[in-house]
Structures are given as C-alpha cells and as structure tokens.
Structure 1
Amino acid sequence: MEALRLQREGGVVVVTLSRPGTRNALDEVLREELRAVVSRLADDQDLRALVIQGEGGAFCAGGDLKSIGGSRLDADGWRRRMARGHEWLKPLLALNCPVITAVDGAAYGAGFSLALVGDFLLAGPRARFCMSFLRVGLMPDLGGLPALVAALGPRRARELALSARELSAVEARTLGLVSECHDSERLPERALEIARAFEGASPAAVALIKSEIRNLSAGHIDDLLHREALGQVVLFDTVEHREAVDRFLNKKPATFLWPRERSGERHDS
C-alpha cells in the first residue's frame, strides 16, 4: 500500500496513516486505501481490536485542500465524493471490536472526526485537535458533529464547531474527549496494550456493548451522514469556501479565525 501501513499481531491490527509529507491529509489515495482496509476488517471474524495512528509527527491534517481547490465538480460530483468517504466510515463505525485512536500531532478537520471514531482516544503531548471546517467555509463531516454531540452535548459541540479553535491534549482530556495522555514514546505502546487486552475479552459481549451504545445514539448514522453530505455539497459551491481554500493554498491568513485569549484568561472545563 502507498499511503497506509498495516501491522497484525494475533487479533490486533494497527493501521498507520503514512503520508508524512502532507501530515497524513485524506487525499484520494489514502481514502481509497482506507476503504479497502476497512472493508476487509469488517468481515474479519478474528479481529479483536483496531489501532489507528499517524506517522511523521501528525495524526491527520484533514481533507486534502489542494485536491479540493483544484476540483471543478458539480453538485453530483461532490455528492459522489462525500459518498466515497462514507463507504469506509460507516463500516468503521460499525465494527464490533474496540477501536483505539492514538493521536500525537495534528488532528484537524476530518482528522479530528477520524480521531473521534476511537472508543479509546489516546493523545500525546503534541496532539492538537481542531474542527477547522469553518475556516474554509464548510461544516464538519466524516461524522464529526454527531460524534461531538454524543461526547460533549449540544452546547459544547456548537462551541467547538463554530469557533474552529484548537484544543491541546490537556484541554481535550479535561473535556472528556481524550481517554488518556502519554509521552510520544509511550503512546503507541499504550495503544497496543489496550488493544491486546481485548484478545482476552468475550467478542460477543464486546459486540453487543458496542451495538447497544450505537442504538442509543440520538439519530441513525445513515440519516446523520446523509444530512451531512447534503449540507457539505451546498457549501462546496459557495464563494466563501472557494475563496477560503484559495487563501489557504496561497498561505494567506484565513478571514475567520477565533480570537486568541489574553493573558490570564482560560476556558471553563
């Protein structure tokens, strides 16, 4: 594979995003390889836990804005693009085994959404989380909004999506998004420790626990992702989005940035 590295040890699979030159941005190659890998894992009866991590000092910088900026898609084209992302996201969310995401570095935009797929989200000291979509005139996708609402409630989800501000590992842990924080060297080892523990757990019990929690979600995932895709298709065609992507590609400041705190201010936990 070109953009992913896979490692298997018994019932544990480790998927490493391996596009360090782009901070593991979700370009077409990476998305297609994720689709192929998740499709295989969904039918793997021996899978007991999955670890997702990034290499090169980043988890995932989000969507590939270079390819987005160069696209000349109509509404149907953007719908197909969104649908291809959901082809691997939905079976990943539906896996019957625990998913551990290990974040050390940027988890921005769709990368933050991917990190939130983890039943256990571990973070290193370099981890930075940001629902950065509004900076480029878009709404959170890859299930980011329902994941935030489920984890934090509507008010806090609105705050993070509308501010598009960055969270450190410590603040994300305080909010309850991050399960554990570890040094960079310890992080992959700890993710594997948690994954290996589930080789001794009842796969039927784990599957039923995950299934029941999914059933308790506020809305059916297919409906949520369908509405997400419809909204994003509209936003892809706006002047604000096209101008924001152009500014990003030309290394100009975004027109929308959350104001920095003054000395002595802090966010309530």
Structure 2
Amino acid sequence: MNETVLVDVADGVATITLNRPQARNALDAQMKDALAALVPSIVADDAVRAVILTGAGGAFCAGGDLRGMAEVRPTMDFERWQARMREFQPWLTQLIELDRPLIAAVDGPAYGAGFGLALAADVVLASPRARFCLSFMKVGLGPDFGAMYTLPRVVGVQRAKELMLSAREVGAEEAQRLGLVMELHPEDRLLDRARALARSFVDASPVAVRHIKQDVARSLASDLPTMLALEAEHQARCFDTAYQADAVERFLAKQPPRFQWPPTHDDDR
C-alpha cells in the first residue's frame, strides 16, 4: 500500500485514511490505485466486521486532482476519458455495496468526489467544521463517484438536483438537517465516536447486517410484494443462525445483548 492511503485493521475494524493532507486529500491517480488494491482486500477479509473511512490533516477529501486533470487533458478524448472514469467504479461499487457497516468520519472539506465517497457510507459522522459541496458545475462537469445514485436516495430528488446544479457549499449543521450527516462531534472526538460505532458491530450478527443493507438498497427500486418476500426469506436466514438462538437465550435470561448501539454523550454534540 502506498502512503497516500493508510489502512489499519484491529479488533475487527478496518480504518482507511486518505493521506494527502498537503492537497486536502484530493484524489490523484496514485491514491485511486491504492484504493483499487485496498478495497477488494477488505471485502475479502471476513475478519473485518466494520470499516471507517476518514481523511488526514483536518480534511476528508477535496475531490479530484484538477492539476492532474489539466496535465492529462491534451492526451484525452471522449473514449479515453470515459474509460478513465470507469477505472474507479469497481472498487467504488464494492464500497457502496459492502455487506458490512461503512462509517465516514468527515472533518473539513468533502468536495466533489470526496462528497461522493462520504455518500457511500451507511453512517456519516462530521465535525462542526465539515463542509460538503458537489463542486462539479464550477468546472463544467457533472457529478461522479456514485453521487447520481446515492444523493437522491439520501436527500430526495429535488434537493439532490439543487445541490448538484448550484454547486453550493453545505455546512455541517445544514448537512445534518438534510440527512447527509447523522451526528456532529468535535473534531478531537470524531474518530473516537466512529471507532465506538464500528466496534459495536464486531459483535453484531453478520447475517442480519448483510440482509438489512441489501434489502434497504433494493427497496427504492422495488415493490411491496418483492420486499415482503425478501423480508420472509431473510428473516428465516437470520433465524437459522446460532447467533439468533443465543440472542434469544440472553434476552430470556436478562443478560446484556451482544450487540448494542453505543450511546451518544450530550457533550459530544
């Protein structure tokens, strides 16, 4: 793994850190290559039960590397640029469709492709100085990094269009009101909260987590009969696990459950 992306795997949690702080973690070719190698290895590692995505140096990700874009432009035409865009889509798809919880800890700017990366997460935590912007219109482009798929599902169609067309910056508090951010925490406690959430899933039922994520992803493009059928199938698969039997025994014996969402302290918000 090159140093533009750092990874730490400990106690069932993988932490991916974008590490170009001098460029506010803008995504250059080296960083994309590192993610293309890293993400499939995490997906294949059954010992990883939750993933944290964050950025170094007080920034999440400032988006694409415009300087690098300008440098390669003379060598690009329509077909080459389209092929270049498709290069990152396999590992991005793996992140969006990851069958384990993905938590984004956003401190500072999440612009352009960085906004798209944050939207790939199941849970977005942010510091008060986080800023979100789909800045593509400012450079004559349309959104990428999955934002066309993820953003309307988070904020609705009309608000998604407004954020894409206006290319305006959204502060942390507005982002929380729009549903882009679940919780706000001071920057010095942000990663601790992400780790607490991630660690709680180490003792969760992987079968239940996988089916919840898959079914919610399918629900917006499905119908009621299909979803009811999936509920019945996946509930039965969860029921047919040792984890579920143990969970019921713990409940009946008035023992603490293995999985419990960690509480939020009021002074963290």
| Letter paired with 1:183 | P
The Cα offsets for residues 75-118 of structure 1, whole Å up to 9 and x where unpaired, read as 22112211111021011112110000000001000000001111
Give the match's secondary structure for 1:107.
strand
Q: SS where residue 188 of structure 2 aligns?
A: coil
Is contact 2:54-2:106 (8 Å) kept?
Answer: yes
Q: How does 1:171-186 map to 2 (within 5 A)?
A: 171-186=174-189
Q: For residue 188 of structure 2, what is the amino acid of its counterpart?
A: E
Counterpart amino acid of 2:210? A
Superposed, which structure 2 residues align to 1:109-120 within 5 Å? 109-120=112-123
Please give the secondary structure, in 1, of the residue aligned with 2:17.
Answer: strand
Instruction: For 1:110 and 1:218, locate their aligned partners in 2 and report how far apart those are by CA, in whole Å.
Output: 24
Q: Which range is displaced more, 73-82 or 120-129?
A: 73-82
Matches of residues 84-163 of structure 1 in structure 2 within 5 Å? 84-163=87-166
**Match in the other structure for 2:50:** 49
Tell me the matched-pair count.
219
Aligned residue type for 2:124: L
Does residue 31 (structure 1) correspond to residue 37 (structure 2)? The answer is no
Is 1:12 the counterpart of 2:13? The answer is: yes
Measured after TM superposition, the shift of residue 11 of structure 1 is 1.0
Distance in 1 between the 2:24 and 2:50 partners?
Answer: 25
**SS where residue 6 of structure 1 aligns?**
strand
Deviation at 1:218, TM superposition (A): 3.8
Equivalent-residue separation in structure 2 for 1:45 and 1:66 (angstroms): 38
> What CA deviation, in whole Å up to 9, does each residue of 1:12-63 have, x standing for no partner?
0000000011110110000010111101011111211000000111100000
Q: Which has the higher helix share?
A: 2
**How far 1:174 sits from its partner (Å)?**
0.7
Write the distance in 2 (CA, Å) between the matches of 1:193 and 1:64: 32
- 1:45 maps to a residue whose letter is D
User: Max radius of gyration: which structure?
Assistant: 2
The whole-number CA distance in structure 1 between the counterparts of 2:27 and 2:64 is: 5
Relative CO higher for 1 or 2, CA cutoff 8 Å, sep ≥ 6? 1
Q: Is the 8 A contact 2:9 2:48 kept in 1?
A: no
Could you give the per-residue CA deviations for residues 125-147 of structure 1, whole angstroms, max 9, x where no partner exists? 11000010000000110111221
- Any runs of at least 4 consecutive aligned residues in structure 1 with deviations exceeding 6 A, and if so which? none
| 3-state DSSP of counterpart to 1:141 | coil
CA distance in 1, matches of 2:7, 2:215: 29
CA RMSD of aligned residues (A): 1.1
Q: Percent identity?
A: 47
Q: Where does residue 64 of structure 1 map in the other structure?
A: 65
Q: Measure, in 1, the Cα distance between the counterparts of 2:213 and 2:112.
A: 25
Runs of 5+ consecutive residues of structure 2 not aligned to the other structure: 223-269
Equivalent runs, 1:163-242 vs 2, <5 Å: 163-218=166-221
Give the alignment's TM-score, normalised by structure 1.
0.80
Q: CA deviation at 1:217?
A: 3.8
- Counterpart CA distance in 2 for 1:11 and 1:2 is 22
The structural deviation recorded for 1:8 is: 1.3
